């Protein structure tokens, strides 16, 4: 018995030696010099140490992950993206007949140099890529980095088969801010589930982790609420300019939520109240508080509508809406709006925000509101989204609340690039590509410490855009700059380096069929 175990161990050892020897033989390839630092990485990782050789991704490569369902999903996600990028099949956690000679490991481990929950470390050598992370979210951010350094073109001279050369080295990385968001206004114009998914997929590539959907406004109500069916029967039938609008059924919304979750992103639903509520009041006039008979609105003015903050029916309505949406939203936040309520009396406004924020908390969510809500007496855990009034931001911080930074002058994706821009507004500023990137969120609001900031969110209001091409024209490339402000520490950010790395995004954006604005400030690397 003992002898047979010894014998088998010996055979196993000999086979391993033979396999290693064969691999050694295969490995005598003179890889050209590569440099990990000069690659196309956006956002730039925390620390890169190049070792100037190459990992040859090829048909003998396999992905292995820790035995954990979420890590396995990350492995499969990577394999799918490799397939679409270079048409190479890489098996995940299954050994093929010809034992893999090169391996991409995606490991769950507590043993990391960094302690952020989204941190990862990546070691790229000639025969393996090792991605270590504590969480699947960290591993997911790591594979985005890997995707960015897989070249589109193979090298066909080193071996008889195709090989894609990935530069070797070590990367350690973690995010600068925990909340890395974009917002899409689907109320002024409606965008389909597929449009939203396309946006999510690209945002995930740049390590965003939150998409805020502005679901309701004067011009349309875009989410099915089963207990108040007229919201969508009547309130969803319009949009700016008189188009036919649209809405997400709860199944559609769940589909978006799931698609985001596969990319380790959360959806933040916003129901804007007590202003921006004309569409809801057209559907249910008993909610209205502006003293006029509500009529369908397809213009672009703001600030004329309000709920009646003194009626119990309004709070019963809000409770139903928050309950139904919260039940299908796994993320921790619910955005209650609160902006530009110009026809709500100040005291009524504060009372409304206080009562609604309690309703939100009662349904297990953390309230977020635009910066006007800083004046209300809400709990400290409420998050304030700074967009225009620095005094409001300061008040929020004094009260111990955290901020999401969306200064209109820098982050509003609906601002025009310049006077020639086809779409967009310019009430806050013209925002060329450099201006969206060259600013310091960490010190943007006087007296603000980094600990007070959850992160940056780039909102895209849709008064002037009605389809995905127009959305892409305004969002890209500026939102990629916001991705770097969110992920990369201040000390590592630099316009001259960024603009070269951004220029290198052209092939990804083209492959994704993104109609980005080809700003002349960037020397786009077109093929």
C-alpha 191/C-alpha 467 separation (Å) is: 7
Residue 264 gets which letter from DSSP?
A: T
Pattern 45-84, ligand TNX, x by CB under 6 A: ----------------------------------------
328 makes contact with ligand TNX (CB under 6 A): no
| Comparison of 35 and 418: residue with beta carbon closer to ligand TNX | 418
Residue 313 gets which letter from DSSP?
A: H
Listed residue (486, 515, 483, 474) closest to 502, CA to CA: 483
| Comparison of 39 and 457: residue with beta carbon closer to ligand TNX | 457
The CB-of-249 to ligand TNX minimum distance in angstroms stands at 25
What end-to-end distance do the CA atoms of the chain give, in Å? 65
191 makes contact with ligand TNX (CB under 6 A): no
C-alpha 196/C-alpha 98 separation (Å) is: 41
The CB-of-275 to ligand TNX minimum distance in angstroms stands at 9
Half-sphere exposure at residue 174, Cβ-oriented, CA atoms within 13 angstroms: 13
340 makes contact with ligand TNX (CB under 6 A): yes
Instruction: Work out which of 412, 444, 473, 476 binds ligand TNX, going by CB under 6 A.
Output: 412
Strands (E) across 161-302 are located at 164-173, 179-185, 210-214, 216-217, 220-221, 266-273
The CB-of-472 to ligand TNX minimum distance in angstroms stands at 18
Instruction: Work out which of 39, 58, 414, 457 binds ligand TNX, going by CB under 6 A.
Output: 414
The sign of the CA dihedral 411, 414, 419, 421 is positive
C-alpha 495/C-alpha 40 separation (Å) is: 14
| Comparison of 157 and 427: residue with beta carbon closer to ligand TNX | 427
| Comparison of 72 and 463: residue with beta carbon closer to ligand TNX | 463
| CB within 8 Å of 85: residues ≥ 6 apart | 147, 150, 152, 511
The CB-of-448 to ligand TNX minimum distance in angstroms stands at 19
- Window 365 to 404, contacts with ligand TNX (CB under 6 A): 370, 387
339 makes contact with ligand TNX (CB under 6 A): yes
Angle at 87 between CA 82 and CA 93, to 5 degrees: 50
| Comparison of 124 and 474: residue with beta carbon closer to ligand TNX | 474
* Three-state DSSP class for residue 143: helix
| Comparison of 177 and 412: residue with beta carbon closer to ligand TNX | 412
296 makes contact with ligand TNX (CB under 6 A): no
| Comparison of 39 and 340: residue with beta carbon closer to ligand TNX | 340
The CB-of-338 to ligand TNX minimum distance in angstroms stands at 8
| CB within 8 Å of 88: residues ≥ 6 apart | 57, 58, 59, 61, 82, 162, 164
297 makes contact with ligand TNX (CB under 6 A): no
H-helix or E-strand containing 23?
Answer: helix 2-27
Question: Site for ligand TNX (CB under 6 A): how many residues?
Answer: 10
Q: Is 340 a catalytic residue?
A: yes
Q: Which of 270, 340, 463, 472 is catalytic?
A: 340
- Window 428 to 487, contacts with ligand TNX (CB under 6 A): 461, 463
Listed residue (417, 393, 389, 408) closest to 459, CA to CA: 408
The CB-of-270 to ligand TNX minimum distance in angstroms stands at 10
The CB-of-415 to ligand TNX minimum distance in angstroms stands at 7
- C-alpha distances (whole Å) from 1 to each of 5, 10, 13, 122, 222 are 6, 14, 19, 43, 71
Q: Looking at the annotation, which residues are catalytic? A: 340
| Contact footprint for ligand TNX (CB under 6 A) | 302, 339-340, 370, 387, 412, 414, 425, 461, 463
């Amino acid at each position: 018995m003992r002898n047979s175990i010894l014998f088998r161990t010996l055979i196993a050892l000999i086979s391993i030696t033979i396999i290693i020897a064969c691999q050694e033989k295969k490995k005598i390839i003179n890889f050209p010099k590569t440099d990990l630092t000069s690659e196309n990485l956006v956002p730039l990782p925390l620390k890169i140490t190049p070792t100037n050789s190459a990992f040859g991704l090829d048909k003998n490569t396999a992905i292995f992950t820790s035995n954990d369902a979420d890590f396995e999903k990350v492995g499969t996600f990577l394999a799918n993206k490799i397939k679409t990028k270079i048409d190479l099949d890489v098996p995940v956690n299954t050994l093929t007949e010809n034992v893999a000679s090169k391996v991409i490991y995606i490991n769950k481990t507590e043993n990391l140099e960094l302690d952020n929950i989204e941190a990862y470390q990546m070691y790229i050598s000639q025969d393996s890529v090792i991605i270590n992370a504590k969480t699947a979210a960290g591993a997911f951010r790591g594979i985005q980095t890997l995707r960015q350094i897989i070249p589109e073109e193979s090298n066909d001279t080193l071996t008889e088969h195709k090989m894609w050369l990935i530069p070797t080295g070590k990367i350690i990385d973690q995010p600068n801010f925990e909340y890395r968001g974009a917002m899409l206004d689907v109320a002024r114009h409606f965008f389909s589930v597929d449009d939203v998914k396309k946006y999510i997929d690209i945002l995930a590539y740049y390590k965003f982790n939150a998409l805020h959907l502005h679901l309701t406004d004067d011009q349309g109500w875009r989410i099915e609420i089963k207990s108040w069916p007229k919201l969508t029967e009547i309130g969803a039938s319009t949009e700016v300019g008189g188009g036919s609008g649209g809405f997400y059924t709860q199944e559609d919304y769940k589909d978006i939520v799931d698609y985001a979750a596969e990319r380790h992103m959360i959806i933040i639903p916003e129901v804007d109240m007590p202003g921006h509520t004309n569409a809801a009041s057209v559907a249910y006039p008993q909610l209205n508080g502006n003293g006029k008979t509500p009529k369908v609105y397809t213009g672009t003015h703001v600030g004329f509508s309000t709920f009646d903050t003194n009626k119990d029916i309004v709070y019963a309505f809000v409770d139903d809406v928050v309950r139904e949406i919260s039940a299908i939203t796994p993320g921790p936040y619910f955005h209650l709006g609160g902006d530009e309520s110009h026809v709500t009396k100040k005291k009524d406004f504060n009372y409304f925000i206080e009562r609604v924020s309690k309703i939100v908390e009662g349904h297990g969510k953390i309230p977020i509101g635009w910066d006007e809500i800083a004046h209300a007496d809400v709990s400290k855990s409420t998050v304030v989204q700074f967009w225009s009034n620095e005094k409001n931001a300061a008040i929020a911080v004094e009260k111990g609340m955290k901020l999401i930074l969306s200064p209109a002058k820098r982050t509003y994706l609906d601002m025009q690039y310049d006077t020639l821009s086809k779409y967009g507004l310019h009430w806050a500023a013209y925002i060329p590509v450099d201006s969206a990137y060259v600013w310091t969120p960490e010190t943007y609001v006087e007296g603000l410490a980094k600990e007070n900031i959850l992160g940056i969110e780039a909102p895209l209001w849709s008064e002037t855009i009605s389809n995905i091409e127009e959305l892409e024209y305004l969002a890209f490339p500026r939102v990629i700059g916001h991705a770097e402000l969110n992920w990369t520490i201040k000390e590592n950010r630099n316009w001259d380096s960024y603009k070269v790395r951004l220029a290198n995004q052209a092939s990804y954006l083209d492959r994704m069929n993104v109609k980005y604005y080809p700003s002349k400030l960037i020397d786009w690397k077109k093929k």
